[in-house]
Structure 1
Amino acid sequence: MKHALRAALATALAATALAAAVPSALAAPAQSPVPACRAVPANAAAPASRAASNPTTISAAHYNQARNILAHAGSMNAAKSHLAHGVRNVPVRYGTQLLACSRDEFRHKDRDAPLKRSGMTPYHWLAIHDAAKSMGINRW
C-alpha cells in the first residue's frame, strides 16, 4: 500500500514539474511576420554575398510597407503574411523571404505573359523592386 501511494505521489509530482517546465521552455515570442511561403527554411543562413550587402535588421514600418506593395500587386504570399507589430525591427531574412516568395509566385502567375522582365510582367517586376527598395534590401 505504501509503495503504491509513493509511486502515485511521485508520478503526480513529476507531471506537475513537467507541466511547469514545458510552457516556459516552449514559450515563443509574439507572432512574427514570417511570409506564408515556406520555400526557404526559417533557420537557413543567407549566403555570404546576400548577408554582406543587406542590413541585419529592417524596421517594422518598412517591412509592412513592402508587404503592402506586394499584396496590392497581387501576391497572395504577401497578403497572407503577418504585419510586424509590437516590435521596432525584424530580421532581414523576413524581408528576403517575402521578396523571394513573391518573386516565385509572380513568375508562376506570369509564365504565359507575352511581355516579361526577369520572368514576370513589368508591373510585378516593378512591385518587387519597389518593395526591396523600401526595405533597403539589395539581394534576395
Structure 2
Amino acid sequence: MKGASLIAPLGVRIPDDLKEKIQAQAKANGRSMNAEIVFILEEAMSDNDRSDDDLREQLIDAYEQKIKSMEDYIKMQKQAFELATEQISLLKTHIKSTTGFDVQAYFDKTIDYDGIRKAVETKNKGKT
C-alpha cells in the first residue's frame, strides 16, 4: 500500500470466522488483508453516502408529489367555490324574478359585512 508509513495503525479485534472470510476474500482479490479491509470500509462508507443521497432524492420526490397533490386539491376547491358562488347568484336571481324578493338587498341590510371584515382583520393582525 502506497504511503503506508503515513497511515496510523488501528488495532481491531475481530472474530476468527470473520478474519478467515476476510483472508479468503483478500486472497481471491489479490490484496493483503489490510488492503482488503480498507477496500471493504471505503465501499461501505461510499454506499452510505449513496444511500443518503438516494434517501434525500426519495424524500424530495415524495414532497414534490405531495405539493402537486395539494395544488390539485386547492385548484379543485377553487373551482367548487366558484361554482357554488355562481349557483348562489343564479338562485338569488331566480328568487327575485319569481317572488320579487331581493335576497341580496335583505342580506345587505341584515348582515354587517364591514363589521365582519374588521373583526376578521383584527383577529388576523393578532396572529402575526
What TM-score do you get using the length of structure 1 for normalisation?
0.27
Greater Cα radius of gyration, structure 1 or 2? 2
User: Which structure is higher in helix share?
Assistant: 2
User: Which structure is higher in strand share?
Assistant: 1
User: Greater relative contact order: 1 or 2 (C-alpha under 8 angstroms, separation 6 or more)?
Assistant: 1
What TM-score do you get using the length of structure 2 for normalisation?
0.29
